[in-house]
């Protein structure tokens, strides 16, 4: 079913209350203006741990809620509304999925309980260049005896500057492999990337970084499955955040259309604007359904799950960018000022669309997965 | 949906029954002319088509969620969804068009507000495909502004006498009955004086003239009504409350126009484009479309079509949980029109001049493209849907 049950509605309502009171959009603005070194609210992350949200995908045996990706989208949609920068994506979704799919009990025992409690931030380093291309990790692992040496670079690593441990993709003997590397390991340099949307990102350099076998999540061979699962989960959750963002920016626009008067009447009475606003609504509803369907498809291991993930990411990116671009236009000159929050939505929409593959990337992937 | 045990059983039984009972001919891709609309004037294209309709109607699966006593299957929403999924999986054609005026529009409306006598009289023959219905709403001067219908119904005690003209009446010439909006209160405000009547097309005074369309077909008609008698028991809802009845029906219409079509149960048009590319010498083993612009445009359409099938699934789930809003019918209708227009236009582009021949064409793509132009007009135009969303959902003010 692609609608929420009572429990899911309750999770959503509780989160909405928490986020609108603890981290409304002004919170992001304050972090940005202060050039905060964390770029997140550590207090909120702790609360996420206490309330169980940080461990939504962590299996119960490791102290989490053991819920589904479908449930994780509820969380993401809510922080999309408030533009809250949260380690939920990097840690609770991507790193958690990597660990669970790896089946590596040693690393799961070490990290999952900490994740569930909101006590640790982790990151997943996938991309190496300015365009998403996960098959080209830009990093190599070389094995000699029990030591593994890593060399390469990563970019656009969400929460890479605050992560205690980074899960890094690379090639070992030509096979995709994932390793858990503590950020303070000698040879790792981290540069905080101040992004347009004031959300968190870092560029990482690995120079002769010495690792031991135990830090590999799995045998080579299995790395690709781990990566695929991480990407699917990450893309769905970013897409859900984009839906929340789109929904919020549209309702702010509707409110403005009712309140702003020109020619002696509310501008929202002009049909030219009404129809454009209504079209955005229709696009968001369709994209929302695609995201829920994709989450279900992954949860159930459906045959077309990968395809639905790309559909969801593409449609959510388009809907969020469309709604925020129209929002700027319909706010007139006010929409271009930094005083108004609308610009923050536009910036986040653009960056989150790009994250883990933009709409163009995912549309092309639909063609490839279908076979043409 | 997670299949628990009883759901799994229902799925397995359904699949087994379909495999056994759906004739092989009814599992080939459907062509436009072979869609089954039923009715007294219907001639079956094959024995298989007749047999398939009879077997499905016997189980009530032509109207899966209607109560059994009215010819339906008595299935829950979840079960009906499984039936649909299994039919798609086995490529079973619908035995009777789900989007028809009878099954898609009038039936659910009678179920919602009809009297017991009306349900017992009209629903079972609809579910069995024995009566075909047409919709007499539009008039020459009442299109988008439907509430200005002028066709007059004069009260004659136990019956009405109807005079006026309807237009764009789809398949009136093939239909047995018509449901129509007529004016019973000429002096009341325009929304308040309308009545919804059920009218036998065999009644004296009904005159039907087909209109030719740009697609070359004559799918709809002008319908002239001269002193047509309609007994009062054939009023659906209350006299002068027809506008509200029509609103119930119109939201069924928008839902059924859009949910009847699962684009992605049909073959990918990207694969069709690749087939055509491979017909060229030296291209037999191409793995992807060389025209990257066309490839991206097709994929963008197909991504939207997948999203649309998720949307119609979600709309169904919300409706079954009683959470449906007026919004969904309009949202579906807007997307459906745009997607079908995009799809048929891409198909013409894929075919090139081969598909432009009017007589004996190798494909019906040109006619489908032209037919799709009507998708954003019929059942309330796209602009009217956007008006509905603006006013009723977004709450934007009137000018
Ligand atoms: C294939 C097909 C099948 C049909 N079948 C039936 C049928 O079986 N029974 C039946 O009763 N009717 C049927 N119709 C009629 C259909 O419902 C009408 O065509 C439709 O409601 C539009 O009315 P109209 O044609 O008079 O156009 P008009 O109302 O004259 O509209 C002309 C243009 O003006 C726009 N417009 C009108 N009002 C507004 C407004 N307020 N704001 C913005 N734009 C506006 C419209 O969107 C349209 O683009 C069918 C139509 C088609 C195309």
| DSSP-derived secondary structure for B112-161 | HH--HHHHHHHHHHHHTT---EEEE--BTTBSSSGGG---EEEE-SSEEE
pLDDT higher than 70, residue B257: no
Query: Residue A169 — φ and ψ, nearest 5°?
Result: -90, 145
Burial of A269: CB neighbours in 10 Å, binned 0-12, 13-18, 19+: middle
Q: Is residue B254 part of a domain?
A: no
Q: Domain check: are A209 and A237 in the same one?
A: no
DSSP state letter for B396: P
Write the pLDDT tens digit of every residue in B83-117.
Answer: 998 998 999 999 999 888 999 899 999 999 999 99
Q: What is the DSSP string of B227-272?
A: EEEEEGGGB-S-TT-HHHHHHHHHHHHHHHHHHT--GGGSPPHHHH
Q: Domain check: are A80 and A138 in the same one?
A: no
Which of these three, A218, A233, A248, is where a domain ends?
A: A218
Cα of B381 from ligand 1 centre, angstroms: 6
* Catalytic residue chosen out of the listed positions B86, B97, B139, B253: B253
Closest CA to A166 of A225, A106, A209: A209
Does the CB atom of residue B34 touch ligand 1 within 6 A? no
Q: Domain check: are A284 and A356 in the same one?
A: yes
> Domain count of chain B?
3
- Contacts of residue A282 in chain B, CB cutoff 8 Å? 330-331, 334-335, 389
Helix axes B269-278, A359-370, angle to 10 degrees: 60
Which of these three, B97, B124, B144, is where a domain ends?
A: B97
Helix axes A271-299, B326-351, angle to 10 degrees: 80
Q: Domain check: are A178 and A143 in the same one?
A: yes
Q: Domain check: are A159 and A251 in the same one?
A: no
Q: Is residue A243 part of a domain?
A: yes
Chain B residues 121-140 within an 8 A CB cutoff of chain A: none
Give the Cα separation of B253 and B249 in Å (integer).
6
pLDDT of residue B253: 72
Does the CB atom of residue B133 touch ligand 1 within 6 A? no
Which of these three, A218, A253, A268, is where a domain ends?
A: A218
Average per-residue pLDDT in chain A? 97
Cβ contact A370–B268 (<8 Å):
yes
Two tokens, residue B331: 């949202």
Which of these three, B179, B209, B240, is where a domain ends?
A: B240
Average per-residue pLDDT in chain B? 92
Provide mean pLDDT across the span B65-69.
Answer: 96
Cα of A137 from ligand 1 centre, angstroms: 55
Q: Is residue A1 part of a domain?
A: no
Q: Domain check: are B82 and B30 in the same one?
A: yes
Tell the residue nearest (CA) to atom 16 of ligand 1. Answer: B378
Buried b (16+ CB within 10 A) or exposed e, B105-124: bbbbbbbebbeeebbebbbb
- Is residue B35 within 8 A of residue B104, CB to CB? The reply is no
Tell the residue nearest (CA) to atom 7 of ligand 1. Answer: B169
Residues 6 or more apart whose CB falls under 8 angstroms from that of B29 comprise: B91, B266, B267
Q: What is the CATH number of the domain that holds A203?
A: 2.40.110.10
Assign B213 to helix, strand or coil.
coil
Antiparallel, parallel or unpaired: β A165-172 and A139-144: parallel
Q: Is residue B252 part of a domain?
A: no
Antiparallel, parallel or unpaired: β B206-211 and B220-231: antiparallel
- Contacts of residue B268 in chain A, CB cutoff 8 Å? 370-372
Buried b (16+ CB within 10 A) or exposed e, A165-196: bbbbbbbbeeebbbbbbebeeeebebeebebe
Q: Is residue B121 part of a domain?
A: no
pLDDT of residue B3: 58
pLDDT of residue B151: 97
Q: Given pLDDT bands bounded at 50, 70 and 90, which one contains residue B233?
A: very high
Predicted ipTM?
0.94
Residues 6 or more apart whose CB falls under 8 angstroms from that of A2 comprise: A289, A292, A293, A296, B310, B313, B314, B317
**Domain that includes residue A158, residue range:** 124-218
Q: Is residue B180 part of a domain?
A: yes
Q: Domain check: are B234 and B267 in the same one?
A: no
pLDDT of residue B255: 65
Long-range contact set of residues B146-152: C-beta below 8 Å, sequence gap at least 24: B146/B181, B146/B246, B147/B190, B147/B191, B147/B194, B147/B243, B148/B190, B149/B181, B149/B182, B149/B183, B149/B194, B150/B183, B151/B180, B151/B181, B151/B182, B151/B183, B151/B225, B152/B182, B152/B183, B152/B186
Cβ contact B393–A290 (<8 Å):
no
Q: Domain check: are B58 and B152 in the same one?
A: no
Q: What is the DSSP string of A332-362?
A: GGGGGSSSSTHHHHHHHHHHHHHTTS-HHHH
Cβ contact B327–A271 (<8 Å):
no
Cβ contact A366–B306 (<8 Å):
yes
> Domain count of chain A?
3
DSSP state letter for A216: B
Q: Given pLDDT bands bounded at 50, 70 and 90, which one contains residue B188?
A: confident
Q: How many degrees, rounded to 5, is the angle at CA A294 between CA A293 and CA A300?
A: 90
Q: Domain check: are B265 and B208 in the same one?
A: no
Q: Is residue B128 part of a domain?
A: no
Residues 6 or more apart whose CB falls under 8 angstroms from that of A8 comprise: A71, A74
- Is residue A47 within 8 A of residue A93, CB to CB? The reply is no
Closest CA to A179 of A203, A143, A131: A143
Q: Domain check: are A181 and A261 in the same one?
A: no
Q: Is residue B125 part of a domain?
A: no
Q: Domain check: are A203 and A286 in the same one?
A: no
- Contacts of residue A289 in chain B, CB cutoff 8 Å? 307, 310-311, 313-315
Tell the residue nearest (CA) to atom 35 of ligand 1. Answer: B383
Q: Domain check: are B226 and B296 in the same one?
A: no
Does the CB atom of residue B131 touch ligand 1 within 6 A? no
Write the pLDDT tens digit of every residue in B295-326.
Answer: 999 999 999 999 999 998 998 888 888 887 67
Q: What is the CATH number of the domain that holds B377?
A: 1.20.140.10
Q: Domain check: are A110 and A172 in the same one?
A: no
Cβ contact B314–A368 (<8 Å):
no
Cβ contact A278–B389 (<8 Å):
yes
Which of these three, B194, B211, B240, is where a domain ends?
A: B240
Residues 6 or more apart whose CB falls under 8 angstroms from that of B353 comprise: none
Helix axes A305-330, A271-299, angle to 10 degrees: 160
Two tokens, residue B66: 């209607």
Among B38-42, B160-164, B351-355, the range scoring the smallest mean pLDDT is: B351-355
- Is residue B80 within 8 A of residue B8, CB to CB? The reply is no
pLDDT higher than 50, residue A5: yes
Q: Domain check: are A198 and A145 in the same one?
A: yes
pLDDT of residue B1: 44
Q: Is residue B189 part of a domain?
A: yes
Q: Domain check: are A110 and A129 in the same one?
A: no
pLDDT higher than 70, residue B335: yes
Q: What is the CATH number of the domain that holds A333?
A: 1.20.140.10
Please name the residue ranges forming H helices in A83-212.
96-102, 105-116
Q: Is residue B253 annotated as part of the catalytic site, yes or no?
A: yes
Tell the residue nearest (CA) to atom 41 of ligand 1. Answer: B384
- Whether the model pTM is above 0.90: yes
Which of A275, A286, A367 is the closest to B299 by Cβ?
A367
Write the pLDDT tens digit of every residue in A192-247.
Answer: 999 999 999 999 999 999 999 999 999 888 999 999 999 999 999 999 999 999 99
Burial of B292: CB neighbours in 10 Å, binned 0-12, 13-18, 19+: exposed
pLDDT of residue B216: 84
pLDDT of residue B260: 65
Q: Is residue A353 part of a domain?
A: yes
Q: Domain check: are B33 and B156 in the same one?
A: no
Q: What is the CATH number of the domain that holds B74?
A: 1.10.540.10
Percent of chain B with pLDDT over 90: 78
Closest CA to B221 of B237, B232, B210: B210
Which of A266, A277, A285 is the closest to B397 by Cβ?
A266
Give the Cα separation of B214 and B115 in Å (integer).
41
Pocket test residue of B100, B135, B140, B144 for ligand 1, highest count of atoms within 8 A of CB = B144
Q: Does B274 touch chain A (CB under 8 A)?
A: yes
- Contacts of residue B330 in chain A, CB cutoff 8 Å? 282
Write the pLDDT tens digit of every residue in A13-51.
Answer: 999 999 999 999 999 999 999 999 999 999 999 999 999
Burial of A264: CB neighbours in 10 Å, binned 0-12, 13-18, 19+: exposed
Which of these three, A218, A251, A271, is where a domain ends?
A: A218
Percent of chain A with pLDDT over 70: 100
Burial of B215: CB neighbours in 10 Å, binned 0-12, 13-18, 19+: middle
- Contacts of residue B289 in chain A, CB cutoff 8 Å? 367, 372
Give the Cα separation of A253 and A238 in Å (integer).
22
Q: Is residue A264 part of a domain?
A: yes
Q: Domain check: are A106 and A29 in the same one?
A: yes
**Domain that includes residue B34, residue range:** 4-97
Provide mean pLDDT across the span B166-178.
Answer: 96
Cβ contact A367–B393 (<8 Å):
no
pLDDT of residue B254: 66
Q: What is the DSSP string of A223-278?
A: HHHHHHHHHHHHHHHHHHHHHHHHHHHHHHHHHHHHH-EETTEEGGG-HHHHHHHH
Give the Cα separation of A89 and A351 in Å (integer).
14
Q: Domain check: are A116 and A128 in the same one?
A: no
Q: What is the CATH number of the domain that holds B196?
A: 2.40.110.10
Work out which ligand 1 atom sits closest to the CA atom of B381: 47
Q: How many degrees, rounded to 5, is the angle at CA A105 between CA A103 and CA A106?
A: 135
Q: Does B31 touch chain A (CB under 8 A)?
A: no
pLDDT higher than 60, residue B258: no
Give the Cα separation of B303 and B289 in Å (integer).
17
């Amino acid at each position: 079913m692609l609608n929420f049950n009572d429990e899911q509605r309750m999770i959503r309502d509780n989160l909405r209350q928490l986020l609108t009171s603890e981290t409304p959009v002004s919170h992001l603005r304050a972090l940005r203006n202060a050039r905060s070194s964390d770029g997140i609210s550590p207090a909120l992350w702790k609360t996420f741990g206490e309330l169980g949200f940080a461990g939504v995908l962590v299996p119960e045996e490791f102290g989490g809620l053991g819920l589904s990706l479908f449930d994780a989208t509820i969380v993401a949609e809510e922080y999309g509304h408030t533009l809250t920068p949260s380690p939920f994506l990097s840690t609770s979704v991507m790193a958690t999925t990597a660990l669970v799919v790896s089946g590596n009990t040693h690393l799961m025992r070490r990290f999952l309980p900490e994740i569930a409690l909101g006590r640790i931030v982790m990151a997943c380093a996938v991309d190496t260049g300015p365009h998403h291309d996960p098959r080209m990790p830009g990093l190599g692992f070389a094995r000699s005896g029990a030591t593994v040496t890593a060399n390469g670079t990563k970019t656009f690593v969400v929460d890479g500057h605050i992560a205690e441990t980074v899960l890094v993709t690379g090639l070992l003997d030509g096979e995709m492999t994932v390793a858990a590397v503590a950020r303070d390991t000698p040879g790792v340099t981290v540069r905080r990337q101040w992004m347009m949307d004031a959300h968190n990102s870092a560029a990482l350099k690995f120079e002769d970084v010495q690792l031991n076998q135990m830090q590999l999540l799995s045998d080579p061979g299995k790395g690709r499955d781990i990566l695929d699962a991480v990407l699917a989960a990450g893309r769905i959750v970013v897409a859900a955040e984009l839906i929340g963002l789109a929904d919020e920016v549209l309702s702010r626009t509707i409110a403005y259309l009712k309140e702003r008067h020109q020619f002696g009447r509310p501008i929202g009475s002009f049909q030219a604007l009404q129809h454009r606003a209504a079209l955005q609504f229709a696009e968001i509803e369709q994209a929302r359904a695609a995201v829920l369907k994709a989450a279900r498809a992954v949860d159930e291991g459906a045959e077309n799950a990968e395809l639905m993930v790309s559909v969801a990411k593409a449609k959510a990116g388009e809907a969020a960018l469309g709604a925020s671009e129209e929002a700027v236009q319909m706010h007139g000159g006010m929409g271009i000022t930094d005083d108004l929050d609308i610009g923050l939505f536009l910036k986040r929409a653009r960056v989150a669309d790009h994250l883990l593959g933009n709409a163009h990337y995912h549309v092309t992937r639909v063609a490839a997965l279908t076979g043409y | 949906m997670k299949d628990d045990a009883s759901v799994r059983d229902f799925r397995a039984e359904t699949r087994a029954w379909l495999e056994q009972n759906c004739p092989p001919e009814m599992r080939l891709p459907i062509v436009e002319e072979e869609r089954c609309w039923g009715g007294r004037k219907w001639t079956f294209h094959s024995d298989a088509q007749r047999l398939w309709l009879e077997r499905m109607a016997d189980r009530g699966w032509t109207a899966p969620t209607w109560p059994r006593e009215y010819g339906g299957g008595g299935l829950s929403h979840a079960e009906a969804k499984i039936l649909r999924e299994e039919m798609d999986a086995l490529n079973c054609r619908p035995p009777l068009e789900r989007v028809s005026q009878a099954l898609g529009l009038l039936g659910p409306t009678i179920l919602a507000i009809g009297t017991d006598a009306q349900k017992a009289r009209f629903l079972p023959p609809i579910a069995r495909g024995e009566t075909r219905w047409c919709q007499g709403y539009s008039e020459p001067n009442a299109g988008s502004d439907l509430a200005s219908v002028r066709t007059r119904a004069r009260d004659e005690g136990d019956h009405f006498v109807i005079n006026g003209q309807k237009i764009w009446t789809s398949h009136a010439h093939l239909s047995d009955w018509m449901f129509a909006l007529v004016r019973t209160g000429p002096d009341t405000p325009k929304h308040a004086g309308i009545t919804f009547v059920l009218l036998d097309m065999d009644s004296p005074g009904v005159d039907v003239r087909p209109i030719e369309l740009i697609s070359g077909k004559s799918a709809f008609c002008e319908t002239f009504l001269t002193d047509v008698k309609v007994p009062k028991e054939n009023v659906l809802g209350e006299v002068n409350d027809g506008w509200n009845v029509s609103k119930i029906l119109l939201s069924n219409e928008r839902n059924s126009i859009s949910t009847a079509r699962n684009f992605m149960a049909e073959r990918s048009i990207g694969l069709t484009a690749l087939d055509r590319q491979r017909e060229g010498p030296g291209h037999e083993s191409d793995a992807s479309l060389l025209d990257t612009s066309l490839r991206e445009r097709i994929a963008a359409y197909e991504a939207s079509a997948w999203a649309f099938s998720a949307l119609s699934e979600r709309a169904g789930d919300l409706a079954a949980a009683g959470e449906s809003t007026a919004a969904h019918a309009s949202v579906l209708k807007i997307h459906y029109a745009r997607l079908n227009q995009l799809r048929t236009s891409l198909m013409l582009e894929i075919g090139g001049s081969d598909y432009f021949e009017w007589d004996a064409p190798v494909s019906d793509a040109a006619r489908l493209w032209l037919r799709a132009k009507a998708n954003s007009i019929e059942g309330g135009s796209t602009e009217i849907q956007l008006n509905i969303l603006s006013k009723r959902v977004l709450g934007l003010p009137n000018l």
